[in-house]
């Protein structure tokens, strides 16, 4: 059992009756999945119907109903894609035990996605490495494509389709111009052809200076006629090869990437150039708002300052892609104030599935609670109820373009995601992109059942199935409540308690380096820029007495964040520089509260080990031991984080660690001397080992 089957562990006895009206590549997949895996005693019919109800659900939406006196289950959609999604839904209900007894007789399900474009962003380079990838190398074997087609390409498309993901950006946002060469477009076409019947559309990241690098032009100025002509021709070429190509993702004028600002033009002028040439083909531009320059005071304010004034200046087929928080995928950030600030422009959230700042694929961190926190945040942009979800799903401002992106955690590791439990994050992204009001608890439970039940069932057959089943259900509920649901908060506790942020080693972002200070490096890449510890206190003053980033939020949030006493404590040091002696809601001083929070992170992680060991007799050895091994690393790392941060900050606070708490087990000097060598962002086998 190597984990390669993901959450798709349906039985395959190949007996079932499936009734189809007509054939198409997509319907054929739906029918074949059902024929192989449908075990219930009634046939399934796949029906295309464009009545009012199903037209309203769109070609990806569907209904599932028990019909003809409970003698048949019918999946109905106005489009082929909806039938495929409906088929997977039905199989998932079966696999999680939700069709047992009389439930099958009363099916009445109606589904429709909240976001039109549910897209993965692969940060995969053409040389096979993955930026911030911790599950091996790229799945795309560019050297062998298009001649050699790995079976994993189809398995990838199938896994995505099974959770409703309908789009993918194949290459890194730090894009090589090469991806648009005729040679590479043939490779991209080969992948697009495999993904198409599964409803997964291909997009590419582009390098804004491609007209120079690839076309030999002297400039990439978006207002230059030859530049525009070059893009027009290139886009024509792309569509002649891939007729349903989705469009471009662009990282421009960010972290050294070229962009329109190099020529004194705005982001809107850059985006519109591409939007205009893509428009005749219904292509779109996803233009990233991840911009910050070393000169300005507060990095957290810069995307807003740059983009908010451009609202209304973008073409209709441009969507601005915004990271969930204003800095950079920290384990906890407030939502980016750009959500709700741009009203005339469609905007989309960019979430990070890969755990760049959450322990790579060594630490368990179920991210659904973090993404929910962002999506459910009220921006108050149009009064109460203007959540980030509603700002981005198109409903608040009536945008027809609605999308959500997740930076993928997939590599060519056999189990796709490195950590066996990290598969839950790929799954959760798909589920939330489909329906953002699903709860993290439900998603966790679904994933655990789909991933572990069928295997355990197969193993327990013939022993005491009923009794085992009960215990297994109990165990999965426990794993969900006590590991998955608590895991992200545990990471926050030991990496960034109370809103303290960006204490990561500056290049690899794995371990703690609050002391890190590299000569000549950008100040805003150094931890001291963020923690600002001094003898008086700690934290970044973003209130009206400081950088005034709080003013970028709508009332009443701006006042709430601005006040030291009204700011939620989990974001306190994000928004305020707070005296060590400040009295917290618990009655403790800030210093003591920090100590307690770090310690809680360590204790919770140890608790994960205890809980996981209970799974030993139910879960196959390979996955059981793999997780057990990684939890050991995580527990050691949690201690490393706590010791490094507390001993370092203690130099400023000059206060003792409360006597009732565990003592540090590392020396500050050792930790400061330790250098973790990580090349190509691969996952280190251990954290601090000295």
Q: Which spans of this chain sit near ligand BDP (rule: CB under 6 A)?
A: 131-132, 173-174, 251, 255, 290, 328-329, 356
Annotated active-site residue in 356, 373, 378, 637: 356
- Cβ at position 289, least distance to ligand BDP in Å: 11
Distance CA 375, CA 402 (A): 14
Residues linked to residue 351 through DSSP beta bridges, in sequence order: 406
- Cβ at position 681, least distance to ligand BDP in Å: 8
Dihedral class, residue 419 (left if φ above 0, else alpha if ψ from -120 to 50, else beta): beta
DSSP 548: -
- Which residue, 156, 159, 109, is CA-closest to 9? 159
CA-CA distances (angstroms) from residue 83 to 31, 197, 241, 605? Answer: 9, 12, 27, 42
- By DSSP bridging, strand 117-121 and strand 167-169 are parallel
- Cβ at position 173, least distance to ligand BDP in Å: 5
Cβ-closest residue to ligand BDP?
Answer: 328
Report CA Rg, the chain. Answer: 26
Contact status, residue 374 vs residue 324, Cβ threshold 8 Å: yes
- By DSSP bridging, strand 346-352 and strand 284-288 are unpaired
| 373 included as an active-site residue | no
DSSP 215: T
Annotated active-site residue in 328, 493, 524, 599: 328
Cβ proximity to ligand BDP: between 174 and 477 the closer is: 174
- Which residue, 160, 157, 24, is CA-closest to 79? 24
- Which residue, 135, 146, 101, 58, is CA-closest to 407? 135
Cβ proximity to ligand BDP: between 201 and 251 the closer is: 251
DSSP string, 569-636: GGGHHHH--EETTPBPTTSSBHHHHHHHHHHHHHHHHHHHHHHHHTTTTTS-HHHHHHHHHHHHHHHH
**Helix, strand, or coil (residue 371):** helix
Distance CA 12, CA 94 (A): 13
| 276 included as an active-site residue | no
Distance CA 685, CA 620 (A): 22
DSSP string, 231-291: HHHHHHHHHHH-TT--EEEE--SSTT---GGGGT--HHHHHHHHHHHHGGGT-EEEEE---
Cβ proximity to ligand BDP: between 54 and 251 the closer is: 251
- Cβ at position 95, least distance to ligand BDP in Å: 35
- Which residue, 447, 388, 362, is CA-closest to 686? 362
| 298 included as an active-site residue | no
Cβ proximity to ligand BDP: between 515 and 681 the closer is: 681
Q: What are the b/e assignments for 14-53, b being 16+ CB within 10 Å?
A: eebebebeeebebbebbbebbbbbbeeebbbbbbbeeeee
Cβ proximity to ligand BDP: between 116 and 299 the closer is: 299
Distance CA 517, CA 504 (A): 12
- Cβ at position 58, least distance to ligand BDP in Å: 31
Annotated active-site residue in 2, 17, 100, 255: 255
- Cβ at position 120, least distance to ligand BDP in Å: 14
Distance CA 36, CA 57 (A): 27
- Which residue, 596, 629, 628, is CA-closest to 611? 628
Cβ proximity to ligand BDP: between 17 and 255 the closer is: 255
- Cβ at position 547, least distance to ligand BDP in Å: 21
Angle at 209 between CA 206 and CA 211, to 5 degrees: 95
Cβ proximity to ligand BDP: between 298 and 356 the closer is: 356
- Which residue, 154, 612, 76, 117, is CA-closest to 394? 117
Cβ proximity to ligand BDP: between 131 and 262 the closer is: 131
- Cβ at position 257, least distance to ligand BDP in Å: 8
- Cβ at position 121, least distance to ligand BDP in Å: 9
Cβ proximity to ligand BDP: between 215 and 325 the closer is: 325
- Cβ at position 450, least distance to ligand BDP in Å: 30
Cβ proximity to ligand BDP: between 173 and 584 the closer is: 173
Cβ proximity to ligand BDP: between 306 and 446 the closer is: 306
- Cβ at position 506, least distance to ligand BDP in Å: 10
Q: Which residues are catalytic?
A: 255, 328, 356
């Amino acid at each position: 059992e190597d984990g390669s089957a993901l959450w798709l562990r349906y039985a395959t006895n190949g007996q079932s009756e499936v009734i189809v009206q007509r054939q198409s590549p997509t319907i054929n997949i739906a029918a074949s999945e059902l024929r192989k895996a449908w075990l219930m005693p009634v046939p399934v019919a796949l029906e295309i119907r464009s009545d009012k109800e199903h037209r309203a659900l769109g070609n990806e939406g569907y209904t599932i109903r028990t019909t003809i006196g409970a003698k048949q289950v019918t999946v109905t959609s106005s489009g082929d894609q909806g039938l495929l999604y409906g088929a997977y839904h039905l199989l998932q209900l079966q696999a999680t035990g939700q069709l047992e007894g009389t439930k099958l007789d009363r099916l009445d399900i109606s589904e429709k996605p909240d976001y039109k474009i549910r897209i993965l962003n692969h940060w995969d380079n053409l040389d096979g490495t993955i930026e911030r990838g911790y599950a091996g190398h790229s799945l795309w074997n560019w050297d062998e494509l298009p001649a050699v087609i790995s079976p994993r390409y189809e398995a990838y498309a199938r896994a995505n389709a099974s959770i409703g993901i309908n789009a993918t950006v194949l290459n890194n946002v730090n894009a090589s111009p090469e991806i648009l060469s005729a040679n590479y477009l043939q490779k991209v076409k080969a992948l697009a052809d495999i993904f198409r019947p599964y409803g997964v559309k291909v997009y590419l990241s582009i390098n804004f200076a491609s007209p120079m690098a690839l076309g030999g032009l002297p400039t990439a100025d978006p207002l230059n006629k030859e530049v525009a002509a070059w893009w027009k021709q290139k886009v024509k070429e792309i569509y002649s090869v891939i007729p349903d190509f989705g469009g471009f993702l662009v990282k421009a004028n960010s972290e050294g990437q070229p962009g329109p600002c190099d020529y004194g033009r705005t982001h809107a002028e850059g985006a519109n150039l591409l939007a205009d040439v893509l428009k005749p083909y219904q292509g779109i531009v996803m233009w990233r708002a991840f911009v910050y320059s070393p000169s300005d005071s507060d990095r957290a304010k810069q995307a807003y300052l740059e983009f908010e004034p451009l609202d209304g200046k973008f073409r209709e087929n441009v969507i601005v892609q915004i990271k969930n928080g204003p800095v950079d995928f920290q384990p906890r950030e407030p939502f980016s104030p750009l959500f709700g600030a741009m009203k005339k422009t469609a905007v989309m959230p960019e979430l990070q599935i890969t755990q760049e700042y959450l322990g790579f694929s060594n630490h368990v961190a179920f991210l659904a609670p973090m993404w929910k926190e962002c999506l459910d945040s009220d921006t108050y942009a149009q009064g109460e109820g203007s959540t980030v979800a509603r700002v981005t799903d198109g409903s608040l401002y009536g945008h027809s373009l609605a999308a959500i992106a997740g930076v993928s955690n997939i590599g060519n590791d056999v189990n796709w995601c490195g950590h066996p439990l990290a598969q839950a994050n790929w799954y959760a992204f798909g589920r939330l992109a489909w329906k953002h009001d699903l709860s993290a608890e439900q998603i966790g439970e679904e994933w655990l059942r789909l991933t572990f039940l069928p295997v355990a069932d197969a193993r327990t057959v013939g022993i005491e199935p009923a009794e085992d089943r009960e215990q297994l259900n109990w165990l999965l509920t426990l794993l969900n409540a006590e590991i998955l649901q608590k895991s992200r908060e545990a990471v926050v506790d030991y990496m960034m308690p109370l809103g303290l942020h960006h204490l990561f080693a500056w290049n690899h972002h794995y371990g703690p380096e609050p002391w890190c200070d590299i000569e000549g490096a950008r100040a805003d890449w150094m931890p001291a820029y963020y923690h600002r510890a001094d003898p008086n206190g700690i934290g970044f003053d973003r209130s009206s007495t400081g950088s005034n980033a709080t003013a970028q939020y709508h009332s009443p949030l701006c006042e709430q964040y601005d006040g030291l006493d009204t700011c939620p404590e989990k974001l306190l040091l994000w928004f305020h520089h707070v005296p060590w002696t400040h009295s917290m809601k618990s009655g403790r001083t800030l210093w003591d509260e920090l100590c307690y929070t770090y310690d809680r992170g360590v204790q919770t992680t140890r608790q994960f080990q205890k809980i996981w060991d209970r799974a030993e007799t139910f879960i196959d050895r390979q996955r059981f031991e793999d997780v057990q091994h990684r939890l050991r690393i995580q527990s050691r790392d949690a201690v490393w984080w706590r010791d490094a941060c507390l001993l370092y900050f203690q130099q400023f606070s000059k206060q003792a660690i409360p006597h009732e708490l565990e003592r540090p087990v590392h020396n500050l000097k050792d930790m400061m001397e330790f250098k973790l060598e990580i090349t190509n962002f691969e996952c280190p086998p251990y954290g601090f080992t000295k």
